[in-house]
Structure 1
Amino acid sequence: MPKKTPNPTKSLKIPFFIIVSVKLCAIISHKLVTIYAAKLFTTPIKHKIPKRELKMDSESIQNTLHIPAIHKDITVYEYGKNNKKILLVHGWSGRGTQLFKIADSLLENGYSIVSFDAPAHGKSKGSTTIMSEFIASLLEIEKQYGPFEIAIGHSLGGMSVLNALKNGLKVKKAVIIGSGDIVQDILDDFISKLKLKPEISVRLRDYFENRYHVKMDDFSAYKAAKEIEIPVLVIHDKNDPEVPVKAGIHIHNNLKNGSLYLTEGLGHRKILGSHDVIKKISEFIGEQQ
């Protein structure tokens, strides 16, 4: 019997037992369910490295890097020995080797790769993290491993690249793939998947803002895009079930020097291994400014 191929345009579902437990918390109190939802929102799933990523994993130089701004350690991967460096940034519940096909292509084009496991991801320690810790990690990696020619980010990694650029990351070009956009939309979608009332989304935003002393909307990708001068290639699938294509289009519309490449039928993760996508990235990187 042939193996069933996962549908790349089908959204990942939250386990039933989590939905039940969340609903029970909601019955008890709004405060309790907000705290529980916050815990779920900031806890990534650590997946085992799939066989396809083992080559990059085994051939990389791996070191532990301390990020002073957040008092956490992360695992950093150095892949290749060329002088020109590109920084790769995975998304939520991803790994530093997840963009391996893009990495292999860039190695062939004369670049070396630096990637990392974000806090609480992959081989990095911890159980919870937030986007600001991705951004802090990027900025510290630049200090220790840079300078970089290009930064490429997937999903939350794309949002993090844009925010890091706003906060001083220096690269000549950037590529973001399947990036989220408006933070409140992301919170709304998460609460909807938990089958909770929309008002919990507002409570969740307020909870994060009070805890971390930030305005959540300040991390929205389109806001960062408005302040970026360098060329940015935005790649998004029209049928992405995790992050709607309107996010990529909206980010592109707010860039001063942006290009938009829309794919079809690749979903949120399969897009990372697409020959056409990798070719587009290589062409973009090779274009004269």
Structure 2
Amino acid sequence: MSQSQRAARALFRTLGRVAPPAALALGAATYWRVGAPAPVRPADQAVHDSARRTPLEHRPTFRRGRDGRPGAGGTVTVATYAWGDPGAPGVLLVHGWQSRASAFGRIIEDLTGAGLRAVAYDAPGHGASGGQRRTGLDDLAVIRRLSEAENAPWAGVVGHSLGVLGAGIALHEGIEAERFTAISGLTSVRVTTDGFVRGAGIPWALRDAFASAAQRYGLPDHPDIYERFDLLRHTVPASIPTLWLHDDGDRVNPHQLSVRLHEAHADSSELFTTTGLGHNKILGDRAVRSRILDHLAAPARTTARLTAHRPPAR
């Protein structure tokens, strides 16, 4: 933990004890901000550069002005990407928080190598897209726009981390796809606010109050955000075979989240557990990538486990 992070935690702990309303207000304002866009990793640069790019104008759901008051807002440009034969079946990829489309670089190579077309986007506030904030409602809107441009259901949808939640709810609400692959996923938006409370050092006794404050601050016109974005209650249709992939040492999203998701989709899903890959390295693992392609071709209905050995320390 950096010195600035320790200082922020100390501030939130103190405010949480002596001035809870101030802690909640500051936390709610901070919660929605994405931060500096993640750069393209050198290993993904060639894939990133080879994409066909199409800008998409999007009106963000979060429209709070710089003065902290709700504003009319404008539009932001969302960067969308495509790889592979334009006439090939499409696979939609939805990245996680503080990530970008190119994070799927190795998977994109696999998909196009198998004769599929990969489609992805940088969410608002991420990568080359405009804006500073991202909500699940933004993901739903962009996914719908991209889906409307397709001539057939997606051959597959692949989500990572927060992208699992947005993609899964989009499928629940009617986006058509033949397969769903969920990597290091989340069960609900409530998991994200709980994680923020723990990470920021806000007293746990303020957990429920913070969730309410974050919703009022960022999405005052959408009071159903916690009920709507819950993949345990609003499951992916059983007609869409789903593969959950998760590392048992994931420190960002605990493995148990995918266990619960698999249980909620027991009749139509498979759980694939890895060891030693963590939250992000799982995206580039050869065995994981092979399993994703197998799922797209002929999904299994059993629980599997893969042990990936950690590389030697350097």
Normalising by structure 1, what TM-score? 0.89
Equivalent-residue separation in structure 2 for 1:274 and 1:203 (angstroms): 40
Letter in 2 for 1:76: T
1:208 Cα offset (Å): 3.6
Equivalent-residue separation in structure 1 for 2:299 and 2:283 (angstroms): 24
| 1:166-177 correspondence runs (5 A) | 166-177=172-183
Return the match for 2:84 from 80, 86, 89: 80
Return the match for 1:149 from 151, 155, 158: 155
> Aligned-residue CA RMSD in angstroms?
2.3
- Unaligned runs of 5+ residues in structure 2 are 62-74, 301-314
Cα deviations across residues 141-194 of structure 1 (Å, max 9, x unaligned)?
Answer: 111356421100000001111100011111001100000113333322221121
For 1:134, the equivalent position in structure 2 comes to: 139
Q: Find out whether 1:217 has 2:214 as its counterpart.
A: no
Equivalent-residue separation in structure 2 for 1:125 and 1:284 (angstroms): 34
Equivalent-residue separation in structure 2 for 1:117 and 1:152 (angstroms): 14
Native 8 Å contact 1:118 1:124 kept in 2: yes
For 2:114, the equivalent position in structure 1 comes to: 109
Native 8 Å contact 2:182 2:244 kept in 1: yes
Return the match for 1:182 from 180, 188, 191: 188
1:13 Cα offset (Å): 10
Cα deviations across residues 115-147 of structure 1 (Å, max 9, x unaligned)?
Answer: 000011111111112122112211111113564
For 2:242, the equivalent position in structure 1 comes to: 232
Equivalent-residue separation in structure 2 for 1:218 and 1:237 (angstroms): 26
Native 8 Å contact 2:241 2:299 kept in 1: no
Return the match for 1:54 from 45, 53, 58: 45
Q: Percent identity?
A: 20
**Aligned pairs, number:** 279
Equivalent-residue separation in structure 2 for 1:131 and 1:13 (angstroms): 31
Aligned to 1:74, what secondary structure does the other structure show?
strand
For 2:104, the equivalent position in structure 1 comes to: 99
Native 8 Å contact 1:44 1:93 kept in 2: yes
Equivalent-residue separation in structure 1 for 2:197 and 2:299 (angstroms): 44
Equivalent-residue separation in structure 1 for 2:143 and 2:160 (angstroms): 14
- Unaligned runs of 5+ residues in structure 1 are 1-10
| 1:210-289 correspondence runs (5 A) | 210=216, 211=220, 212-225=222-235, 227-255=237-265, 256-287=267-298
Cα pair distance change 1:270/1:72, threshold 3 Å: same
Equivalent-residue separation in structure 1 for 2:209 and 2:151 (angstroms): 39
Aligned to 2:149, what secondary structure does the other structure show?
helix
For 2:64, the equivalent position in structure 1 comes to: none
Q: Find out whether 1:20 has 2:10 as its counterpart.
A: yes
Equivalent-residue separation in structure 2 for 1:95 and 1:12 (angstroms): 24
